Structure 1
Amino acid sequence: MKTIRNAARSTNRAVGASFFAVTTLLGITACSCLDTQYKIPRSLCGANVPQSVLESALPKGEKLTEHPESSGSTKRCRIHVDGKSVLSVSTERWEVETTASDVAQSALGVDPQDRRSNEGRYIYSSTGAVGKIDCTKANAVRAPMWATVRVTHHEATGADMLKLIRAYVKAVGFSPECSQ
């Protein structure tokens, strides 16, 4: 025989179970909309960077667009996801004696004191990196070229940025831009 107390307990259990089911369902629904819905590009602003490297440096979202620009010897490209700038890459000619620390001094997202790789050829953090581009033929005639990459979201790691700067430097090194 049910008493009023037992009925109240049953009602509380039912309400609690319903609340748990609804909040779990809402959590699952919210998570599913955070997937990357755009297609990872096959190149980064014309530089053939592997999609796997790009994927780890880009946040989730629905729409990706590229926004290239240049001024003098600086070429820059910004990647937007859902209308927000999330990744910026650039190349620029510097003086012969320029070091990675010099480039990092003026770059956003990385400081001269951040982690180094390849005997100082790269300096990187979880938000940016700089690296020297190997333009062997062009370097004999023109000033050396340096690359910078920077993210404006918090999903990338230092390892992601190091992979990205290495891949971007390599791709630009094989591009026509390197011989200009």
Structure 2
Amino acid sequence: MSVRPAPSRKKVTVVVWAISALVAVLSGCGGDESERDYAVPDSLCGVAVDADELGPFLPDGKEITVRDKSGGGTTVCEVVVDDELALRATQAWVEEGKTTAYFASSQTLTAPEESAEDDRLRYSGNEAFGKTKDCIDKQHGQELYTAVQAQGSDHKDADAMKRLITDYTSEVEGSTSCEADGSE
């Protein structure tokens, strides 16, 4: 039977140091750890949203403010994180017979390439636009459109943005906004 010599103290020290360094590096690479000191809202100016769907589109920060900027037949809800605009949700009355692509072109410089529900929804990785069903103001010849634009973070996820605009538009359809006359 052979006896293996004990490792030198120098080798043990190097191995322990290497393992410690590796553990320190790996523990700092969590990636999903948020530096968010605020609670993600579950509504945007009275319109319910899924905070889990909204959260990834909001940046890290200390303080959040949700501001209602309504007027002239348009409702704009701004989400501000640490005094920087992070997300904007819009409800706007547009001339009847227009398309979601037409509405989006007035709201963004980059036309969203993805579409769903026969072009009723248009979306990209960080913004989306929708046309409500049956929210029509016959008196003024207008239809209600929606938008969610998240340009305050680097997060881009077209599928998540599609879910967000689908849910947001559905909530608007069931709200008093759908009954508005478009002339506020």
For normalisation by structure 2, the TM-score amounts to: 0.76
Amino acid at match of 2:163: K
User: Which residue matches 1:3?
Assistant: none
User: Which residue matches 2:105?
Assistant: 105
Note the C-alpha offset of 1:96.
Answer: 0.9
User: Could you say if the C-alpha distance between residues 19 and 158 of structure 1 is closer, same or farther in structure 2, counting changes exceeding 3 Å?
Assistant: same
> CA-to-partner distance for each residue in 1:56-106, whole Å, 9 max, x for gaps?
433344332102112312211111223321111111111112111111212
Alpha-carbon separation, structure 2, partners of 1:36 and 1:133:
33
**What are the residue-to-residue correspondences of 1:14-93 with 2, within 5 Å?**
16-17=17-18, 20=21, 23-24=24-25, 27=28, 34-93=34-93
> CA-to-partner distance for each residue in 1:117-151, whole Å, 9 max, x for gaps?
00000110002111002244x44444101111111
Identity across the alignment (%): 25
Note the C-alpha offset of 1:26.
Answer: 7.6
User: Could you say if the C-alpha distance between residues 101 and 92 of structure 1 is closer, same or farther in structure 2, counting changes exceeding 3 Å?
Assistant: same
Instruction: Name the one with the larger strand percent.
Output: 2
Instruction: Name the one with the larger helix percent.
Output: 1
Residues 1:13 and 2:14 are matched in the alignment: yes
Alpha-carbon separation, structure 2, partners of 1:60 and 1:32:
11
How many residues are aligned here? 171
User: Could you say if the C-alpha distance between residues 32 and 165 of structure 1 is closer, same or farther in structure 2, counting changes exceeding 3 Å?
Assistant: closer
User: Which residue matches 1:125?
Assistant: 124
Checking the alignment, whether the CA contact within 8 Å between 2:57 and 2:126 is kept in structure 1 is no
User: Helix, strand or coil: the match of 1:34?
Assistant: coil
Alpha-carbon separation, structure 1, partners of 2:172 and 2:110:
20
Q: Gaps (5+ residues) in structure 1?
A: 1-5
For normalisation by structure 1, the TM-score amounts to: 0.78
Note the C-alpha offset of 1:162.
Answer: 0.7
Provide runs of 4+ in structure 1 moved above 4 Å: 9-12, 30-33
Note the C-alpha offset of 1:14.
Answer: 7.7
* Aligned Cα root-mean-square deviation (Å): 2.9
Checking the alignment, whether the CA contact within 8 Å between 1:110 and 1:129 is kept in structure 2 is no
User: Which residue matches 1:149?
Assistant: 148
Amino acid at match of 1:62: K
Alpha-carbon separation, structure 2, partners of 1:174 and 1:32:
34
